[in-house]
Chain A
Amino acid sequence: MDNRLNNLQKRRISSWQIVLLILLLFCPGGYAQTGKITFTPHWIPQAQFAGYYAALDQGYYKEEGLDVEILHLTANISSFEYLKSGKADIVSSFLMDAVRQKSLGVPIVNIGQISQHSSLMMITKKESGIDEAGKLHNKTLGIWSSGFDDVPIAFMRERNYNIELVRILNTVNLFLMNGVDALTVMYYNEYDQVINSGVNEDELNTFFFSDYGLDIPEDGLYCLESTLSTQRELLAKFVQATIKGWEFADQNREYTIDLVVQEMAKAHLPNNKAHQRWMLDRMLELLQPGDKNVIKGHLAEQDFFRALNILRLTSPDFPSEDFMFENFHKPLLTK
């Protein structure tokens, strides 16, 4: 109970109060106009966001005349909350979350797609005998408490599998102790945590959702429509410098891992290079379009519609009106 998240929550309260105070004292609309940009990644510091740390460290934002601050979430909430409240000018988020937010009428827009593929997967222990997706029927699946349901539920619905979802916070311990039959994990993160807890790769069966027609891209960059209309140039520079940061991270992986570990230590998070190296390597793979017909930094139209279809499948009350891809994705990366 006295764990990290509780700790985060307590800190959130204090920083929230400070931010509120600043908001009251200074005009909140004035951020971006002076070239100052606050960016909030959608999770705690880790190599998932290496490109942003690298761009900041290497001065790529400064070169573009930007004064960028990376403000991490202080609780287990959506980064869109920061966007909505004006705490952040740009946030990163999963495509599924963003499409859902858009459907709920939040005026957000995707200004650049970082990840091109899905990293979401399920794992089972070989000893459980679950070596094909069909055997998950009538089994338990550990899944995070929010934000990741759509793809697995779409998967279950499409196949008529009855899988009991067991909500977990963010550890893999329940799976390690055989409290659930299967676990939803990110290949770049929890999968390696399981490996780093002493389970060998050859002791696991893996089920990548991308192998089941659910290759939904993940991390993308979002801002409010109003910000885009007024600060288009600054945002474009941010996206440009960010991609440059990812390229630097690709070329200088060990250096970048050190940056990531420093960020994690600053946030008092458990960190080790082996895991962050794994995460960076996987992230860099996700950045590549691969066989998708899309430019780096852009979102493929079919991926957007695939995400929409999933939401329609999982949420019966999903608005039925047409969503215009052009209204959702306005890529600022010209190169």
Chain B
Amino acid sequence: MKKNSLSFRIIKQVLFFCLVLGCVIFTIYYIFSRTTIEKATRQNAIHLANNTVARIEQVVNPAEKIPENLAWMLETGALPKDSIESFLSRLVKNNTEIFASAIAFEPHVLAEGVTAYAPFAYRSGDSIKTTDLWSPGYNYFIMDWYQIPAILKEPYWSEPYYDEGGGEELMTTYSVPFYLNKSGESVFGGIITIDISLDWLTEMVNAVKIFETGYAFLITRSGVYVTHPNRSQIMNESIFSRAKELNQPEMREIGRDMIRGISKLSNITLKDKGNIWIYHTQLPSTKWSLGVVYPHHEMYASLHNLNLIILLLSIAGLGLLTFFTIRIINLQISPLTKLTHSARIIAEGNFDSKLHTIQTNDEMQELHDSFQFMQKKLADYIVNLRETTSAKEKIESELRIAREIQMSMIPHIFPPFPNLEEIDLYASLESAKEVGGDLYDFFLLDEKHLCFAIGDVSGKGVPASLLMAVTRTLLRSVTEKNKNVASIVHSMNKTLTFNNESNMFVTLFVGILDISNGELRYCNAGHNPPVLIKKGFSANFFGITKAIPVGLFEDFLFVEEVVQMEAEDKLFLYTDGLTEAENAEENLFGEDNLLQVIHQNAASSPKNLIQSAKAAIAIHVNGFEQSDDLTMMSITYHGNKRGIA
């Protein structure tokens, strides 16, 4: 597909629009989905944590009741002092969730002189054993399980510890202070404890699975991990030592919130786990804190998978859209391609070539019909053009021949009289069209008389050229019998006037120069007055005569005039094509310009003078089309050189 083809452009625009629209829709969908997932995850995290805490409390709360009831029994005296050991033994035996139980007395409360007594019943295999915890190496008064509740006067869940067998069983002790009535006063009596295994707790928390790698964990009130998917951290690390190891102060802040008992959802990027969401809440009984961890990338995994599917579908969809759009467009514009092909064939001149048939009855059909109409018109026009051209060529050929004939009628060999030293003559005729109406002629009447003429037939083209030919022929035939210029012009006028139905006429200047003495007799029949250049200094127009052009009135009386030429005087004759030569601004060359050119070239030969005049006119018209024939003739009289009598 070409880059600038119609289908390419349409596809480009359609695809661009689809992409923009798709992106907008996708962004809205993505933001909405993300928000929904976040909202759902938040609710899920809170629910999961609260649910887990509730399940833990279901186990812990009944266990808490045992030492509390025992404290009540001791305080009220319901438990006789001498049956404490057997009672404890039975208590452990009957409560399978309890691993051991003890009642540790303060000094002298049980009896004066008893400084320490702590009956302790514990499981050993299937049986229950009892012992006194006190020994010199085991001062229970400074143990956390005794000391902390004793000082704080409130129940206390100890930090977890591994059982005494060195096994992997994690234990915790719940301690409750009790009071005894002594001499009517309630005094602090000691601490009642139960030891419970935390295996069920770790199992319960470890069973929480969140996505792929999410998990729940439990920390004590000093931040130590009680459960954690990474077992090596349990009881070894606290959330604070991990935060320090990972150099993550924000993790420490979460830990501080947790041990303070705050329930909160936080977002944190951990160096070892990446971005996670963590929701934490406190266990009301032990004051430990449960955290549920949602790996960020897994939270959005389903969304990202869906995004991938949408992306793939979009690519496939756009691919199909492109494919079918190209097909449809190509199908729709295929007539255009055919018409283009036809246009080329027609342009090569095959006007009769058959156009491809289109029957779609739509804009394409209209275009096809118009094209067919154009083809027909073009064929007709070409036929006409051929005929016209052929006719024009024929006329042009004839006119060329006519021009050759016309030009051959006037003398065109210079110098015309190489042996005649007395005169130098040059003439030029340039027709504006193929054939013209200007004429000039010169010939010797006898040894000492030079006859010359210049004329301009009215009108242009073929009619003028025919009359010019007649005039020139008439001049030659009349001068054979007649040497008087007035009678020559008169007889030419008479002949031309006869049957002159087209009312054409000729301005004519005819002169006969006696080369022996320089006498010039002439007759001017309505022609532009020639210029007489005296010895190369002053140039003047001949006086204006009242004669009219020949061919108008049969009986008009033409008069002969005489002017004397001295040696080296010049004559310059011309037609109005010279003075009326026009430029693009419609300014005429004029007589002043002519005189100026003549002055500048007064001493030049006739040929040079005429060529200078031509050059001046060319400059004046500056390429503007020549509208009239341009004819000039110049004669220099050198005087009677050979002594002709």
A: residues with CB less than 8 A from B are: 1-7, 9-11, 75-76, 145, 166-169, 171-174, 176-180, 195-198, 200, 268, 270-275
User: A167, A198, A268 — which one has the most chain B CB atoms within 10 A of its CB?
Assistant: A198
B104: chain A residues at CB < 8 Å are: 1
Q: How far does the Cβ of A192 sit from chain B's closest Cβ, in whole Å? A: 9
Closest beta carbon of chain A to B251's beta carbon, Å? 11
- Known interface pairs A1-B145, A169-B142. Does A198 touch B195 (Cβ–Cβ under 8 Å)? no
Are B139 and A197 within 8 A (Cβ)?
no
List of A residues within 8 angstroms of B143 by Cβ = 1, 3, 169
CB-defined contacts of A200 to chain B, threshold 8 Å: 256
Asked whether B163 is an interface residue with its Cβ less than 8 Å from the other chain, the reply is yes
B238 touches A145 (CB 8 A): no
Pairwise interchain contact A198-B259, C-beta atoms closer than 8 A? yes
Q: For A11, what are the chain B residues with a Cβ–Cβ distance below 8 Å?
A: 166
CA distance A273 to B236 in the complex (A): 9
What are 19 A-B residue pairs whose CB atoms fall within 8 Å in the complex?
A1-B138, A2-B164, A6-B138, A7-B166, A168-B142, A171-B144, A171-B159, A173-B148, A173-B159, A177-B156, A196-B223, A198-B223, A198-B239, A198-B256, A198-B259, A268-B166, A272-B236, A274-B237, A274-B244
> Inside 8 A of A275's CB, which chain B residues have their CB?
241
Closest to B159 in A: A173
Chain A contacts for B238, CB-based, 8 A: 196-198, 272
Is B152 part of the binding interface, using a Cβ–Cβ cutoff of 8 Å?
A: yes
The answer to whether A2 and B138 touch across the interface, beta carbons within 8 angstroms, is: no
- Binary A-proximity of B233-251 (CB < 8 A = 1, otherwise 0): 1011111111011000000
Distance in angstroms between the alpha carbons of A179 and B177 in the assembled complex = 15
Query: Any chain A CB within 8 A of the CB of B100?
Result: yes
- Please pick, from B171, B221, B224, B259, the residue contacting A2 in the complex, using a CB distance under 8 A: B171
Interface string of B81-101 (1 = CB under 8 A from A): 000000000000000000010
- Chain B residues 160 to 188 lying within 8 A of chain A, measured CB to CB, are 161-164, 166, 171, 173
Q: Which residue of B lies closest to A180 (CB)?
A: B151
A277 to chain B, nearest CB (A): 8
A196 to B138, CA, bound (A): 27
Contact, CB under 8 Å: A272 / B245:
yes
CA distance A317 to B175 in the complex (A): 41
Report if B574 contacts A (CB, 8 A).
no
CB-defined contacts of A173 to chain B, threshold 8 Å: 144, 148, 159, 222
Per the bound structure, the CA–CA distance linking A1 and B159 in Å amounts to: 11
Distance A270 CA – B151 CA, assembled complex (angstroms): 26
Residues on A with C-beta less than 8 A from B223 are 196-198
- Residue of B156, B161, B237 near A4 (CB, 8 A) is B161
A174 and B240 contacting across the interface, CB-CB below 8 Å = no
Contact partner of B235 among A1, A10, A270, A274, CB < 8 A?
A: A270
Per-position 1/0 for B203-236, Cβ under 8 A of A: 0000000000000000001111000000001011
**Residue picked from A2, A76, A270, most chain B C-beta under 10 Å:** A2
| Set A2, A145, A271: member contacting B142, Cβ < 8 A | A145
The complex places the Cα of A3 from the Cα of B252 at a distance, in Å, of 27
**Are B159's CB and A198's CB within 8 A?**
no
Q: Is the CB of B144 within 8 A of A2?
A: no
- Complex: how many Å from CA A4 to CA B145? 13
By a CB distance below 8 angstroms, the chain A residues around B488 are none
Asked if B255 and A274 make an inter-chain contact with CB atoms under 8 angstroms apart, the answer reads no
Considering residues B156, B162, B163, which has the most beta carbons from chain A within 10 angstroms of its beta carbon? B162
Knowing A9-B138, A273-B245, the reply to whether A168 touches B147 (Cβ < 8 A) is yes
Q: In the complex the two chains form, is A177's CB within 8 Å of B241's CB?
A: no
A195 to B241, CA, bound (A): 9
B193 interface contact, C-beta 8 A: yes
CB-CB contacts of B125-151 with A at 8 A, as 1s and 0s?
000000001000111111111111001
User: Chain B contacts of A195 at CB under 8 A?
Assistant: 240
Question: Nearest Cβ in chain A — how far from B167, in angstroms?
Answer: 10
Contact A1 B242 (CB under 8 A): no
**Alpha-carbon distance A48/B307, docked complex (angstroms):** 56
Q: Please give 4 more A-B residue pairs, beta carbons under 8 A apart, in addition to A1-B118, A270-B224.
A: A10-B164, A174-B144, A179-B152, A198-B255
Q: Which residues of B contact A1 (CB under 8 A)?
A: 102, 104, 118, 120, 133, 138, 140, 143, 145-146, 173, 193, 195
CA distance A76 to B138 in the complex (A): 10
* The one of A9, A176, A268, A273 that contacts B162, using a Cβ cutoff of 8 Å: A268
CB-nearest residue of chain A to B222:
A197
**A232 CB to nearest B CB, Å:** 36
Least distance between B230 CB and chain A CB atoms (Å): 12
Taking a contact as CB atoms under 8 Å apart, the answer to whether B147 and A75 are in contact is no
Q: Which of A145, A171, A274 contacts B139 (CB 8 A)?
A: A145
Check if A274 sits within 8 Å of B151, measured CB to CB: no
Query: Across the interface, do B195 and A177 meet the contact criterion of CB distance under 8 Å?
Result: no
A2 — which chain B residues lie within 8 A by C-beta? 100, 161, 163-164, 171, 173, 195
Cα separation A31 to B222 with both chains bound (whole Å):
45
Tell me the bound Cα distance from A3 to B233 in angstroms: 19
Chain A residue with the shortest CB-CB distance to B249:
A200
Q: Give Cα distance in the complex from A197 to B235, angstroms.
A: 12
- Inter-chain CA distance A201–B290, complex, in Å, is 25
B55 to chain A, nearest CB (A): 25
Q: How far is the CA of A195 from the CA of B245 in the complex (A)?
A: 13
Tell me, in angstroms, the Cα distance from A171 to B158 when the chains sit together. 11
Complex Cα distance A143/B316, Å?
75
User: Which B residues touch A179, using CB under 8 A?
Assistant: 147-148, 151-152
Give Cα distance in the complex from A145 to B173, angstroms.
22
A273 to chain B, nearest CB (A): 6
Partner of A198, one of B100, B120, B137, B222: B222
Taking a contact as CB atoms closer than 8 A, the residue among A3, A174, A197, A271 that contacts B147 in the complex is A174
| Cβ-defined partner of B240 (8 Å) among A9, A178, A198 | A198
A197 vs B159: C-alpha distance when bound (angstroms) = 12
Query: Contact partner of B236 among A167, A197, A271, CB < 8 A?
Result: A271
A197 touches B142 (CB 8 A): no
Bound CA–CA A230/B221 (angstroms) = 54
B232 smallest CB distance to A (angstroms): 9
B161 to chain A, nearest CB (A): 5
In the bound complex, what is the Cα–Cα distance between A98 and B162 (angstroms)? 34
| Neighbouring B residues of A271 by C-beta, 8 Å | 236
Q: Which residues of B contact A5 (CB under 8 A)?
A: 138
Q: Which residues of the other chain, B, contact A198 by a CB distance below 8 angstroms?
A: 222-223, 238-240, 252, 255-256, 259
Does B164 lie within 8 Å of A169, measured CB to CB? Answer: no
CB distance from B214 to the nearest CB of A (A): 24
- Set of chain A residues within 8 Å of B162, measured between Cβ atoms: 4, 7, 268
